[in-house]
A and B are shown apart, each in its own frame.
Chain A
């Protein structure tokens, strides 16, 4: 423990004197977005019209976008958690020939830039007749190598004793996975779920390519396209932006520690 000497104190004040104005700059665009969404005239922020916000959204197929986004994101989260947990269990806890080589092949899949996969994946779902459907939107996203990597790191830290005891009592791999590995891993699974949900919620390029009708477009694609279809004022556009950001902000404030843990765990 260090002593708090006056010099350190002063240094602390200087640090905050620099950091706080920067923090204001960081949140200013959000405040500007909300303020603009609440006005009817884009060039004056003096007359706030809270009703305007609701009116702008009511005029657009907003609920449909929201519904698609929720279904899409939740389905992908469920898929990624299951496939990541099972694969991570095999890589972290089981011994089999070629394990490390197989893991390396998985990591190779991570190297491919998203744009390389967009065209052939589109052709694939087109051949299956899945363009502009939930199957097409969801199926390509069900596995996350980052998720497997994240859970593998965590599973490796679980002590072997409990597993060995269960094995002596004749428990199979599935029982061990479900009873020994999954329960203490809930925080790691939650981290993956939160990150995966946020990733899908704001994914843009794949939904743009894989959908055609506004019924199948998630929120991000929907509000980006609205600009072209309707003659929207700036305050209308900000209203749609606020509405797109609110679910993410709620998730962020509720699950902040998972967000931060997720970021930290991909590094360490």
Chain B
């Protein structure tokens, strides 16, 4: 205070300013934390403490039926990394995630086809396409089990009409993952369509008109104007789609139960079974954290790749 006063008028001014403005920020800070308290406490208790617990479990031998929980350092991680089932499940999940770019291409094509601003039928179409996305996963899985039924299912009946032999969609290890991917495309298409339609709406018509005046054809207008402007939306759909695909669980559980012969045993189902069927919470925790790391990496790589592509364009 003495030093401050020695600065003379400036010091006095500063002191006056700080006493005058102190109550407002302090009151605001206190109010802010009061407003944040419910969510902050909840996140601490049900998100951050659990994350620490997972970290702790992953370095212990931990099973709900065993009272002793010995520290095992990185043995669980070693276990998981040496388990061929984990690696094959990871590869299968990667293969499954390929449905995301496929359905994105379909959704973008559809959005371009029906997305013109003067088409009055677009909202109706969008509503129909969103129906699967808005309905329940378990019901969807049950219906598709029935659709895929080798003898009575709708799909094989239609195929039989066309003279094509019956396919044991969910019963054959060669087709089961493909069958799950088809259902996923069916479920996600409407969501992606909605997002792309919103993205297209945000593109100023003047840009497209200018390109038209310059003599660009529809193909050039798409690659030179529309697609670059849709980049952030495309990136968002791709990243969230892949992250979602890596976490598929309920659909697989009800539709195939991971079978036949493990043909649809995806990584999250493997984690789930390790925890709740084998009761190896330690291994499951290590696996879950590794998945967390992989997803982090996937996001990071995708962001980098799409960044670079734009710089070259």
> Interface residues, chain A, CB within 8 Å of chain B?
2, 4, 8, 12, 14-16, 18-20, 22-23, 25-30, 32-33, 36, 42-43, 82-84, 86-87, 89-90, 94-97, 99, 102, 106, 109, 111-121, 123-124, 139-140, 142-143, 145, 148, 172-174, 177, 198, 201-202, 204-205, 209, 219-221, 223-224, 234, 237-238, 240-242, 244-245, 248-249, 251-252, 256, 259-260, 263-264, 267-268
Contact = CB atoms under 8 A, between A and B. Distances in A.
24 contacts: A2-B118, A19-B110, A23-B129, A26-B128, A32-B143, A32-B154, A83-B38, A87-B39, A89-B35, A95-B28, A113-B292, A115-B288, A119-B288, A120-B54, A121-B46, A139-B46, A143-B39, A202-B136, A202-B138, A205-B272, A244-B139, A249-B134, A252-B130, A267-B198
B131 A30 contact: yes
Interface string B134-152: 1111111011101101011
Contact of B134 (A221, A242, A259): A259
B32 A198 contact: no
A140 B276 CA distance: 19
Which 9 A-B residue pairs are closest in the complex by CB-CB distance? A120-B50, A15-B113, A120-B53, A241-B139, A204-B250, A173-B31, A90-B35, A96-B29, A87-B39
A30 B146 CA distance: 11
B14 interface: no
B144 A29 contact: yes
Contacts of B50: 116-117, 120-121, 124
A201 B152 CA distance: 30
A267 B137 contact: no
B113 A18 contact: yes
Interface residues of B, number: 90
Contacts of A267: 195, 198-199, 233, 236-237
Nearest to A240: B142
Interface string B40-58: 1011011111110110010
Given A90-B32, A264-B195, A140 B46 contact: yes
B228 to A, nearest CB: 17
Given A109-B48, A112-B51, A202-B136, A173 B291 contact: no
Most buried by B among A30, A32, A43, A120: A120
Interface of A (DSSP majority class): helix
Given A102-B36, A109-B47, A267-B195, A234 B146 contact: yes
A142 B42 contact: yes
A57 B268 CA distance: 32
A223 B119 contact: no
Contacts of B40: 87, 102
Nearest to B287: A115
A69 B144 CA distance: 23
A259 B152 CA distance: 35
Contacts of A264: 194-195, 198
A204 B146 CA distance: 20
B36 to A, nearest CB: 5
Given A204-B138, A204-B249, 7 more contacts: A19-B110, A26-B190, A112-B292, A205-B249, A251-B134, A252-B134, A267-B198
Given A15-B113, A123-B53, A204-B138, A106 B43 contact: yes
Nearest to B31: A173
B90 to A, nearest CB: 14
Among B40, B136, B151, B189: residue with most chain A CB under 10 A: B136
Nearest to B299: A111
Contacts of A198: 134
A10 B94 CA distance: 41
A16 B121 CA distance: 9
* Most chain B CB inside 10 Å of its own CB: which residue of A97, A177, A209, A234: A234
Contacts of B163: none
Contacts of B147: 29, 32
A256 B127 contact: yes
B138 A94 contact: no
B132 interface: yes
A121 B51 CA distance: 9
A111 B299 CA distance: 10
